[in-house]
Amino acid sequence: MSRYPFPSYPRGWFALALSHELAGRPGEPAAEGAATVLTRRAFGRDIVLFRGADGTAHALDAYCPHLGAHLGKGGCVVDGALRCTFHGIRFDGEGNCVSIPHVTKVPPGMKAKAWQVREVDGILVVWFDPAGEPPSFEVPSYFDQRGEPEKWAPMQWHTWEKLHAHPQETSENSVDLAHFETVHGYAGVDIVDPIDITGDTLRISYRMKRGLDNLGMPGQSVESVFKVRVHGLGYSVVEVETPTFGTEFRTYVLCTPIDEETVILRGGGTMKMLPDPNMNQLVNGLFFKGFVHDVEQDFHIWENKAYFDRPVLAANDGPIGPYRKWCRQFYAYSAEAAE
Ligand code: FES
Ligand SMILES: [Fe+2]
């Protein structure tokens, strides 16, 4: 029996890789460890990523439509197309066959399944819809929205592989106000802007206080405002402002289902540069360490909990009911079911 009363793979945008992991951006040296063809497991299948001649990222189903070789195992990029290692057939980013060695006529059906890809804020996301429908929403670039990308520190990332969880359960954290005290040690949790639901996007903001014992200030605490933006179940962004310190951080939490049991979680963070450049590295490092620590505190809950469709809620729980109702649209696999 499934652990959850909803499908394992919600409709939406899900991260498959970070931009720097995929080589081939024109004019840019490949980052250390970057690959020209990346294989990623998601939604119970293998997907391969590569860049076309102009650097645009593409994603194809891993198995070559010819005789089934794995395009990520020995495949390479030639003139912006992905070349299968078995018989040398090449496919473009839309999955169209562009050449077959010694053959001029491409047989009908020689086409690989292509996935819609977007590259946003250094993240490569693909659109998943079980019925193969095109994207019904987009994920915004926060760097573009907020402007002045050069005023933000380079993104830092941490990846947690193979968690026994579901994207709906990990995202539910954003509205589970009571757990911030018991699991994460915050105090004074209070809503600033109540939950606001607009189509695919859920917004909420709250303030919380955190003790500064680990910064050598026992008995003192500082208040931060957390602005949460959830864009479907695979893509959450939290902006954290701490007026006392004059700091602004932004974190990304990206949850991608690998198969019916497990997810991979990517956490990213950046900080608006401080007036004193000497402080940037220290403060950003401390913040990101704290963020990674906070995320990890939830793991033993997610991995072991049950999902109750009709939970018994208490007054301080936060808008869990409206969140779950919002989630339903991502399992609506046809227009009429989407309400
Ligand atoms: S299996 Fe890919 S070219 Fe033949
Ligand atoms: Fe949490």
Pocket test residue of 61, 67, 73, 102 for ligand 1, highest count of atoms within 8 A of CB = 67
Q: How far is the centre of ligand 1, averaged over its atoms, from the C-alpha of 150 (Å)?
A: 44
Closest CA to ligand 1's atom 1: 67
Question: What is the pLDDT averaged over residues 56-76?
Answer: 98
CATH number of 148-330: 3.90.380.10
Ligand 1 atom closest to Cα of residue 89? 3
Q: What is the rounded distance in angstroms from the CA atom of residue 332 to the CA atom of residue 127?
A: 15
- Which class does domain 12-128 fall in? mainly beta
CB 225 near ligand 1, within 6 Å: no
CB 64 near ligand 1, within 6 Å: yes
- Provide φ and ψ at 325, rounded to 5°: -65, -40
CB 86 near ligand 1, within 6 Å: yes
Q: What is the rounded distance in angstroms from the CA atom of residue 260 to the CA atom of residue 179?
A: 26
Over residues 234-262, the pLDDT tens digits come to: 999 999 999 999 999 999 999 999 999 99
Alpha-carbon Rg for the chain, nearest whole angstrom, is: 22
What pLDDT sits at residue 158? 98
Q: Would you place residue 336 in the very low, low, confident or very high pLDDT band (cuts 50, 70, 90)?
A: very low
Instruction: Identify residues whose C-beta is under 5 A from ligand 2, the ion.
Output: 173, 298
Of all ligands present, the nearest one to the C-alpha of 62 is 1
Over residues 20-29, the pLDDT tens digits come to: 999 999 888 8
CB 184 near ligand 1, within 6 Å: no
Question: What is the pLDDT averaged over residues 197-203?
Answer: 96
Q: How far is the centre of ligand 2, averaged over its atoms, from the C-alpha of 329 (Å)?
A: 23
| Average pLDDT value for the chain | 94
Closest CA to ligand 1's atom 4: 87
Yes or no: say if 271 and 287 are a contact pair by the CB < 8 Å rule. Answer: yes
Q: Which helix (H) or strand (E) holds 304?
A: helix 299-304
CB 98 near ligand 1, within 6 Å: no
Question: What is the pLDDT averaged over residues 155-171?
Answer: 97
Percentage above 90 pLDDT, the chain: 87
CB 87 near ligand 1, within 6 Å: yes
What pLDDT sits at residue 2? 83
Q: What is the rounded distance in angstroms from the CA atom of residue 22 to the CA atom of residue 15?
A: 13
Q: Residue 101 corresponds to which tokens in the numbers above?
A: 């060695």
Numbered ranges of CATH 2.102.10.10 in the chain: 12-128
Of all ligands present, the nearest one to the C-alpha of 300 is 2
Closest CA to 294 of 158, 175, 183: 183
Q: Would you place residue 145 in the very low, low, confident or very high pLDDT band (cuts 50, 70, 90)?
A: confident
Question: What is the pLDDT averaged over residues 202-216?
Answer: 91
Q: How far is the centre of ligand 2, averaged over its atoms, from the C-alpha of 49 (Å)?
A: 31
pTM: 0.95
Instruction: Beginning with the edge strand found earlier in the chain, give each strand of the sheet holding 45-51 in spatial order.
Output: 38-42, 45-51, 57-61, 114-115
| pLDDT of 224 above 50 | yes
Numbered ranges of CATH 3.90.380.10 in the chain: 148-330
User: E strands along the chain, which residues?
Assistant: 12-18, 38-42, 45-51, 57-61, 76-78, 81-83, 90-91, 97-99, 114-115, 117-120, 123-128, 156-163, 187-198, 201-212, 217-231, 235-242, 247-257, 263-271
Which letter does DSSP use for residue 227 in this model? E
Q: How far is the centre of ligand 2, averaged over its atoms, from the C-alpha of 163 (Å)?
A: 14
Q: How far is the centre of ligand 2, averaged over its atoms, from the C-alpha of 174 (Å)?
A: 7
Closest CA to ligand 1's atom 3: 87
Look up tokens 């081939």; give the residue: 24
Yes or no: say if 197 and 321 are a contact pair by the CB < 8 Å rule. Answer: no
Q: What is the rounded distance in angstroms from the CA atom of residue 266 to the CA atom of residue 56?
A: 22
Of all ligands present, the nearest one to the C-alpha of 295 is 2
Q: How far is the centre of ligand 2, averaged over its atoms, from the C-alpha of 179 (Å)?
A: 7
Distances 263 to 120, 163, 255, 258, 315 between C-alpha atoms, Å: 21, 5, 6, 5, 31
